[in-house]
Chain A
Amino acid sequence: DQQVKQNSPSLSVQEGRISILNCDYTNSMFDYFLWYKKYPAEGPTFLISISSIKDKNEDGRFTVFLNKSAKHLSLHIVPSQPGDSAVYFCAASGQTGANNLFFGTGTRLTVIP
């Protein structure tokens, strides 16, 4: 039951360039989307979120874009830094219960110095 999908398991980007991580979802009831970053041996760390009433949210080097009609969101990191190397998880929730999050399988980003 893959309601949130990240089709790219890995991505390599040169330092200073833009990293674009993609995520697709199938459940049209989702209305809140988040990106988490995860280092080995640590829990996911919240990066940025967007609600379905917006199509863009920006926080410093991180921007999340939401295309509701395509059920697609993306995370842009610019400029990419070596410290951004981690696994990035897309997550989504809807107006059900206590709004638990559904996670994608993650994309491992490697930023090459």
Chain B
Amino acid sequence: EPEVTQTPSHQVTQMGQEVILRCVPISNHLYFYWYRQILGQKVEFLVSFYNNEISEKSEIFDDQFSVERPDGSNFTLKIRSTKLEDSAMYFCASRGGTNSPLHFGNGTRLTVT
């Protein structure tokens, strides 16, 4: 069964550094998402992406965050200047259409020191 893949599985970075989290969504999916889960908290929506542009973003997704689909397969989340509170699991997800389930990757654990 096709799956969403995320790399790296764990990223450690120093505060103020830029990080790029990478995702390869399921190939025929059209909608792409980033979510995050801070340890012990709920899964939170960050941003959705469709037709090469952001469809919706949450309050968490401020100017430090950006997303890109640089080619036909990758979907990236960039954090320009990481803060301690950015430490979380970041999940990429994709779906084929509206009202179909999101399929999640296994996440990237980001640790900001």
Binding site for B on A (CB under 8 A): 32, 34, 36, 41-46, 49, 51, 89, 93, 96-106
Contact = CB atoms under 8 A, between A and B. Distances in A.
B45 interface: yes
Contact of B33 (A32, A41, A100, A104): A100
Contacts of B48: 97-98, 100
7 contacts: A32-B99, A43-B91, A89-B43, A97-B55, A98-B33, A98-B49, A105-B41
A89 to B, nearest CB: 6
Contacts, number: 63
Interface residues of B, number: 26
A46 B99 contact: no
Given A34-B101, A100-B56, A42 B106 contact: yes
B104 A98 contact: no
B107 interface: yes
Interface string B36-75: 0000011111001110000110000000000000000000
Name B's interface SS: strand
A103 B38 CA distance: 13
B4 interface: yes
Interface in B80-110: 91, 93, 98-99, 101-107
B105 A43 contact: yes
A10 to B, nearest CB: 13
Q: Which 9 A-B pairs have the closest CB atoms?
A: A43-B104, A98-B55, A97-B56, A98-B48, A46-B101, A103-B43, A105-B42, A100-B45, A43-B106
A98 B31 contact: yes
Contacts of A102: 45
Interface-centre pick from A32, A44, A103 (highest chain B CB count, 10 A): A44
A98 B102 contact: no
Contact of A49 (B91, B101, B103, B105): B101
Nearest to A4: B42
Nearest to B109: A41
